[in-house]
Chains A and B, each alone.
Chain A
Amino acid sequence: MIHDFRYIRPKSLEEVHDLLSNISEQGCVFSGGTDLFVDIRAGLSTPDFVVDLKAIESLHQFSFDKQEGLIIGACVTVNELIRHAAVQKHYSILATAGRELATHQIRNRATVVGNVVTASPCGDMASPLLCLDAEVVVLSSKGSRNILLSDFITGVKSTRLRPDEIVEKILVPGRMIDAIGGYKKLKRIRGHDLGVVSVALLKGKDTLRFAISSAAPTPVLLTDFPPSTSVRDIQAAAQRAISPIDDVRCSKEYRAFMVSAFIERLMNEAG
């Protein structure tokens, strides 16, 4: 690595809280490290120490119950999510989006929570989780608080997480387990590439929702269309809600065009 740092692998949350209360040094918590070590190598992040959360058993919690819904602990990897039978059965939108995230090797390390906390505009997990009304459970030495995911991400790579807090888990309510889900992502190559634009759809008995990534500083949630809404009306609402930019990956016009194209394809597939 270009930058030297200390490595700490605590076994309890109390130790993590102590480490993060230390304000004289900068620490970064991580589990997969697939974003953090890229940033450190590129000189974008220069922590004094890194805190590996993987030895904390409670952060590996991963459970499903029809009433409680799905609980995804901070150290649950994307491949664990994809392989989970209840996720495949009840939250297919999460499994479909998870398969689009980077590569098999990355998915073996990268975590669902990490992808959300990184808060990249092109992250794959935030938009399906937004459609599912997910909540983020945040911990510090002062206690825990729940934040709706729609309030949690505040901008490009910024969230409501305070420096002394970590995300313990994500809660996905059980009320939408029978909804049909879909996820479409445009990328330049198969495999590891940042998304050019992506759209998630969730269609339940009384609800129709979309979330769009890579088309605004944060993922955009379009919620509570009556299920009978026409494709054209949804496309119009989506175009009003997004603010795509030109960048190295494509033009803003192409992004906007593909948002509407994906909405139409997802609607056709959802029937």
Chain B
Amino acid sequence: MMVRITVRVNGKEYTREVVESKTLLHFLREDLGLTGTKEGCGAGECGACTVILEGHAVNSCLILAVEADGSTIETIEGEVKNGRLSRLQEAFHNHHAVQCGFCTPGMIMTIKDLLRRKPKPSRDEIIDGIEGNFCRCTGYEQIIEAVLDASGQLGESEGLKYAR
């Protein structure tokens, strides 16, 4: 059966009819065309589908679209503002924390949630924080450096200066 739901994604409201058994991930990608959020394992292990739902990072592959009715959702598409990368995206770019890029949208949303809870996370807290996001390219080191830089914890000699 189709159910009508309304969600607010990256500040924009969408109302759609959706099949009850459809995941939030597939709803975002197929119904709203927001394909930045990726599907990896589909079982809550890889974190590629991470979005922020009502302020909490979650695996959108394990949530039904109908469960999210009335919710506020943040996805990777909301990061760029007026054509400019977010501070976190820019740090990923500057530190080469993106290789194939498949894990990046989920990684960024997880870290966004982490930085809200802990604005200056230690190296260990970053490692713990991204435990739910697999990257099979970078070896994580560049990602950790990007988070340290984005949270203002690298000196000028270690970090690359932002353009902004």
Contacts and interface: CB of A to CB of B under 8 A. Distances in A.
Interface of A: 1, 3-7, 9, 32-34, 37-38, 40-42, 52, 54, 79, 102-106, 108-109, 190-192
Contact of A190 (B56, B110, B127): B127
Contacts, number: 83
Interface residues of B, number: 31
Interface of B is mostly: mixed
Contact of A7 (B20, B44, B57, B114): B20
A192 B63 contact: no
**3 nearest CB pairs, A to B:** A103-B132, A191-B131, A7-B20
Given A7-B66, A52-B67, A192-B44, A108 B57 contact: yes
A106 B132 contact: yes
Contacts of A54: 67
B132 A7 contact: no
25 contacts: A1-B22, A1-B23, A4-B19, A4-B20, A6-B1, A7-B3, A7-B64, A9-B66, A32-B62, A33-B67, A34-B44, A37-B23, A38-B44, A38-B62, A103-B47, A104-B131, A104-B132, A105-B44, A105-B47, A105-B58, A105-B59, A106-B59, A109-B62, A192-B131, A192-B132
B131 A5 contact: no
Contacts of B50: 105
A37 B22 CA distance: 11
